[in-house]
């Protein structure tokens, strides 16, 4: 499927932007240089008539992206949270993409529910409303369970959405391959791997059974997070194309006027959403990766309610520590340590000069920290950091893509709630607390205890493992190089000694 025929898809993308009037708006929003503007207009204008017309009643950007398909809509949803990057006009237009897209017929939704659950709608629900929200992949209906009389939200996938998304992703794969072919220097960024990662995320979003499981896990991990609510999932009324959750009443997170009228503290809400994200990402390694305004509400009690768990992110403990050290290094302006972390983690090739890299990082950080609160931006930091790491040969870390993207989105959400928010002051206590608990002597001791516990499970096998290692060392050792075998034995014994010490420490602490 990823053949040259996708050229047609890419041509039609430019043509649609031109035909709907979105091309100039997008170029202006990103402050595109004159040369890029000329290339974009010259290549798109002759094919303007091939572009999708879209809905003339929609603003240009929204009209273009909705006409192009769900993957483009997803991209627009991310940009809608960043008025500091794309300007207020474009961000306002794109916000419609979050949950105000044209719905599909309720009759189709009911037919899908009956097919997936194996029961009639009337047998399961005493009430089933018209759509209350419609997004790029699914729409939501308010209903009432017949058995318990509880109000619920029923999420149903759009008709043929799987095929539509496959077509968009297919074109993205082709574009990535084209970029790698035309510009060999771009290969270090792994464009195809980035699209593959995005593809995997989207495929998970198209199976609502996975979303239901994610919602359950997320609720369990965040149960102690004060001021944060995850609605309960009804697993027995969920399937691949249908998911049922507890109904969560609240104000849309993007409806600033309504939030003000209700008397909520927008500054506190903006700070809380940013800190909650950081705590969940760093402490749990599991976070909501689609945290835009359309997926958040504010309850009457002032709690933040999250929903739509189709895209969740995971990062392993080592990567969390690396990310935390990079963040705290920038916050404390310890650019040498930030450089060291990049080298220790293997993000930057070992043959590069660490002092030059630290100096380059200072050039990134100092201008940002000289800005006032409204100008300081994680988006700007990541953009500048990208330029520096490119110069030093850092390759794209696909495991960090979702984390970084979500960080930018959450920052945009926080700024929508409180434009004067100082993201570094808000982030500092969370990151410092994580550093205190997970990096240092206490964390080292905990790691050793964990290692001892793992070795303890293999305790009965340790004598045989040691004997096998000694036999292999003796067998593989060459007469001219006897020390190699000895070194391997010494290494194994040293490791065993560390394990014994750790086990003793664990015994004393427990």
Could you tell me whether strands 228-229 and 304-306 are parallel, antiparallel, or unpaired per DSSP bridges? parallel
CB 152 within 8 A of CB 196: no
290 has catalytic annotation: yes
DSSP states of 228-276 as a string?
EE-PPEEGGG--SSEEEEE----EETT-HHHHHHTT--HHHHHHHHHHH
Going by C-alpha positions, the residue among 255, 216, 206 that lies closest to residue 236 is 216
Going by C-alpha positions, the residue among 231, 218, 380, 189 that lies closest to residue 289 is 218
CA distance 26 to 86: 8
Which residues lie below 8 Å from residue 33, measured CB to CB, with a gap of 6+?
Answer: none
Going by C-alpha positions, the residue among 228, 307, 299 that lies closest to residue 258 is 299
3-class state of residue 204 by DSSP: helix
pLDDT of 329 reads 87
Strand ranges for 7-103 from DSSP E: none
CB 65 within 8 A of CB 100: no
Consecutive 10-residue runs of the chain (510 residues): their mean pLDDT? 65 83 74 65 73 83 83 71 62 67 91 95 96 88 96 95 83 75 61 72 84 95 94 95 95 92 95 94 90 90 92 86 85 90 87 91 79 66 69 69 78 89 86 81 68 69 73 63 50 48 46
CB 86 within 8 A of CB 97: no
pTM score above 0.85: no
pLDDT of 496 reads 47
Q: Give the pair of three-digit tokens for residue 321.
A: 């520590």
| Residue from 168, 290, 303, 308 carrying the catalytic annotation | 290
Q: Longest Cα pair distance anywhere in the chain, in angstroms?
A: 84
pLDDT of 18 reads 84
CA distance 260 to 417: 10
pLDDT of 503 reads 46
Q: Give the pair of three-digit tokens for residue 48.
A: 């303007």
pLDDT of 501 reads 47
């Amino acid at each position: 499927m990823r053949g040259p025929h996708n050229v047609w898809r890419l041509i039609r993308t430019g043509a649609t932007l031109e035909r709907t009037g979105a091309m100039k708006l997008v170029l202006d929003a990103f402050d595109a240089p004159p040369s890029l503007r000329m290339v974009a207009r010259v290549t798109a204008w002759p094919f303007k008539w091939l572009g999708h017309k879209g809905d003339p009643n929609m603003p240009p950007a929204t009209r273009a992206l909705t006409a192009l398909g769900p993957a483009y809509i997803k991209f627009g949803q991310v940009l809608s949270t960043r008025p500091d990057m794309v300007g207020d006009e474009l961000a306002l237009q794109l916000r419609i993409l979050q949950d105000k897209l044209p719905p599909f017929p309720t009759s189709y939704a009911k037919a899908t529910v009956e097919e997936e659950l194996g029961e009639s709608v009337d047998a399961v629900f005493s009430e089933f409303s018209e759509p209350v929200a419609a997004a790029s992949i699914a729409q939501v209906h308010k209903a009432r369970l017949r058995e318990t009389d509880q109000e619920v939200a029923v999420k149903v996938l759009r008709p043929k959405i799987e095929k539509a998304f496959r077509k968009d992703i297919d074109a993205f794969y082709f574009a990535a391959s084209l970029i790698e072919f035309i510009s060999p220097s771009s290969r270090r960024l792994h464009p195809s791997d980035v699209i593959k990662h995005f593809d995997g995320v989207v495929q998970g979003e198209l199976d609502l059974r996975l979303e239901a499981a994610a919602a359950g896990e997320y609720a369990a991990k965040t149960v102690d997070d004060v001021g944060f609510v995850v609605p309960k999932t009804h697993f027995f009324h969920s399937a691949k194309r249908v998911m049922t959750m507890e109904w969560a009443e609240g104000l849309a997170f993007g409806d600033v006027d309504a939030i003000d009228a209700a008397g909520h503290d927008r500054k506190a809400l903006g700070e809380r959403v940013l800190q909650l994200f950081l705590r969940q990402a760093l402490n749990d390694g599991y976070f909501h990766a689609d945290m835009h305004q359309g997926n958040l509400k504010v309850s009457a009690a002032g709690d933040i309610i999250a929903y739509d768990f189709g895209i969740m992110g995971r990062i392993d403990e080592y990567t969390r520590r690396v990310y935390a050290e990079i963040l705290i290094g920038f916050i404390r302006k310890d650019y040498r340590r930030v450089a060291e972390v990049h080298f220790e983690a293997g993000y930057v090739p070992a043959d590069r000069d660490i002092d030059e890299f630290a100096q380059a990082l200072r050039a990134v950080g100092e201008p940002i920290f000289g800005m006032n609160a409204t100008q300081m931006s994680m988006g700007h930091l990541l953009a500048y950091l990208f330029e520096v790491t490119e110069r030093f040969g850092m390759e794209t870390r696909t495991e960090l893509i979702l984390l970084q993207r979500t960080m930018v989105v959450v920052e945009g959400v926080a700024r929508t709630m409180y434009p004067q928010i100082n993201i570094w002051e808000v982030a500092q206590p969370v990151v410092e607390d994580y550093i205190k608990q997970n990096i240092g002597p206490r964390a080292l001791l905990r790691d050793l205890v964990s290692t001892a516990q793992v070795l303890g499970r293999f305790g009965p096998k340790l004598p045989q493992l040691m004997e096998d290692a000694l036999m292999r060392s003796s067998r593989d050792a060459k007469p001219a190089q006897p020390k190699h075998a000895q070194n391997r034995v010494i290494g194994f014994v040293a490791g065993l000694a560390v394990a014994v010490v750790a086990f003793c420490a664990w015994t004393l602490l427990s």
